[in-house]
Amino acid sequence: MKYLLAIIGFLLASPFVAVADQPNLVLILADDLGFGDVGYQGAPDIKTPHIDRLAAQGITFTNMRANCTVCSPTRAALMTGRYADRVGVPGVIRTAPENSWGYFTPGVPTIADRLSAVGYHTAIVGKWHLGLQSPNTPNDRGFDFFHGFLGDMMDDYYHHRRGGINFMRRDREEIDPEGHATNLFTDWAIDYIRQRQSDSKTPFFLYLPYNAPHFPIQPPAEWLEQTKVRFPELDAKRAQNVAFVEHLDHNVGRFLDALDEAGFREKTVVAFSSDNGGSLPHGQRNLPWRDGKQSHYDGGLRVPFLIRPTDAELAGTKCDYRGLTFDLAATFIDLAQAKSDPESDAVSLKPALDGKTMPQEDRELYFVRREGNNRYAGGAYHAVIRGRWKLLRNDPFSPLELYDLRLDPHETNNVIGKHSKIANQLKASLRRHIQQGGRVAWQP
């Protein structure tokens, strides 16, 4: 009841107000897509013409990181514009309670709540991964429409189960569709776009989070065969990933074409990113950055990040602003002229979308992940970036490391023994972040 009252209170404080000239907003999120696994960033073996098209038509942000090195925390941050542990999600939310390391705090307004308050129709098509039941399903958290998968990963892209449980839903109804999940999510997103044509005066927000290319790496057979013909000497794991990413790119292209055909191109802002870096054991690539998914080295955090604004004159431009995935929440709220969150940790990228220079304040970036297997034993590990310096560790028990990103962007030389004063300053900041996150329950 208290969570329901909190949502009602938010809506009362932010009455429905339609605002002129609101753009439609689309956020496409890939799952575990490596920084070096897209064509526009130099992938030597993967062709991603449709993601590359977004880059050519919009702004490439060259210096962005995911909020976390794994799924749920980035998604919680993206939905709220707050650091993930401040909304109860320091780790992955899973089916089994004993192996779940987050609980998305009910009552915290989401981007969907805020956009709904200014007249947007809000939808999610794809992977949710922030709760399996009320009060934390998409329809409970501000979305008018949900067509997708509640859970974390699928055991099979064709059978859509997780541990034998069907988490496919249309709103609150369990469904059991046939087909590859990437194709299904694209079909459903296109259906949604076509439905919005009948009410073109109402702006929409579509969140399209794919579960590809998250393992199991399972491209359709014909896509894998094409890759093997093209690269007969390619390692089997790499070949599967190449085919999987190219199949995802094909579906992104199908969706973008449908958006254009529906007449929404000139009034729709489209953003594209990934929830974290690629998984090295599954043949994914994050070059030139060190390591991959689960790691606080930049291979686990650096992600592709594109925004196609409504201003066509910005096509093909680049922005080197250093930010995080959840800045998209602040940006979309800003573009919609919706009520901002006084507790937000995110920064709006709207100046860049207006062709202006982003403010160059010395912004601090914070990262946390909690996990439960033997390497982590339920503990959390953290990282913080301030200016040229990055303090990190990759499990709760290893010593902290310090890197000078200006001189050593690929994090090869740990200098914590040479810069104790800098390290202590960052440790003090880290303590404050941990204390703030510690005020929020992460178990139900």
CATH of residue 252: 3.40.720.10
Query: DSSP labels for 68-105?
Result: SSSHHHHHHHHHHSS-GGGGT-SB---SSGGG------
Nearest alpha-carbon partner for 224 in 247, 250, 252, 249: 247
Cis peptide before 135 (omega within 30 of 0): yes
Active site (annotated) includes residue 129: yes
Note down the domain range covering 369: 364-437
Do 335 and 409 reside in the same domain of the chain? no
Last residue of a domain, one of 353, 387, 409: 353
Q: Amino acid identity, residue 375?
A: R
Q: CB under 8 Å to 312, separation ≥6 — which residues?
A: 57
Integer-rounded Cα radius of gyration of the chain? 21
Do 285 and 378 reside in the same domain of the chain? no
Which CATH number fits the domain that encloses residue 417?
A: 3.30.1120.10
> What H or E segment, with its residue span, contains residue 324?
strand 323-324
Matching residue, tokens 């009362």: 12
pLDDT (tens digit, 0 to 9) for every residue of the chain, 444 residues total? 445 545 555 554 445 555 668 999 999 999 999 999 999 999 999 999 999 999 999 999 999 999 999 999 999 999 999 999 999 999 999 999 999 999 999 999 999 999 999 999 999 999 999 999 999 999 999 999 999 999 999 999 999 999 999 999 999 999 999 999 999 999 999 999 999 999 889 999 999 999 999 999 999 999 999 999 999 999 999 999 999 999 999 999 999 999 999 999 999 999 999 999 999 999 999 999 999 999 999 999 999 999 999 999 999 999 999 999 999 999 999 999 999 999 999 999 999 999 999 987 779 999 999 999 999 999 999 999 999 999 999 999 999 999 999 999 999 999 999 999 999 999 999 999 999 999 999 999
Do 376 and 342 reside in the same domain of the chain? no
User: Whole-angstrom Cα distance, residue 91 to residue 84?
Assistant: 8
What is the 8-class DSSP label of residue 265? G
> Partners of 28 in the beta sheet?
208, 272
For residue 29, tell me if it sits in a domain. yes
Do 348 and 369 reside in the same domain of the chain? no
For residue 304, tell me if it sits in a domain. yes
For residue 228, tell me if it sits in a domain. yes
Query: DSSP labels for 24-52?
Result: EEEEEEESS--TTSSGGGT-SS---HHHH
Contact 370, 378 (CB under 8 A): yes
For residue 444, tell me if it sits in a domain. no
Cis peptide before 209 (omega within 30 of 0): no
Q: Which of 68, 71, 250, 382 is catalytic?
A: 71
Burial of 173 (0-12, 13-18, 19+ CB in 10 A): exposed
Last residue of a domain, one of 306, 330, 353: 353
For residue 359, tell me if it sits in a domain. no
Domains of the chain: total: 2
Query: DSSP labels for 344-410?
Result: ------HHHHTT-PPP----EEEEEEE--STTTTT-EEEEEEETTEEEE-SSSSSPPEEEETTT-TT
Strands 64-65 and 323-324: parallel
Do 374 and 328 reside in the same domain of the chain? no
For residue 403, tell me if it sits in a domain. yes
Do 209 and 276 reside in the same domain of the chain? yes
Q: Which of 50, 68, 121, 129 is catalytic?
A: 129
Do 246 and 312 reside in the same domain of the chain? yes
Do 348 and 251 reside in the same domain of the chain? yes
Backbone angles phi, psi at 212, to 5 degrees: -85, 150
Do 47 and 156 reside in the same domain of the chain? yes
Do 170 and 294 reside in the same domain of the chain? yes
What is the 8-class DSSP label of residue 22? P
For residue 7, tell me if it sits in a domain. yes
Last residue of a domain, one of 353, 373, 393: 353
The pLDDT value given to residue 13: 47
Do 295 and 368 reside in the same domain of the chain? no
Do 143 and 270 reside in the same domain of the chain? yes
Active site (annotated) includes residue 319: no
User: Whole-angstrom Cα distance, residue 308 to residue 85?
Assistant: 30
The pLDDT value given to residue 10: 55
The pair of three-digit structure tokens given for residue 386, joined into one six-digit string: 């301030």
Q: CB under 8 Å to 289, separation ≥6 — which residues?
A: 35, 36, 277, 297, 298, 299, 301, 302, 410, 411
For residue 418, tell me if it sits in a domain. yes
The pLDDT value given to residue 18: 58
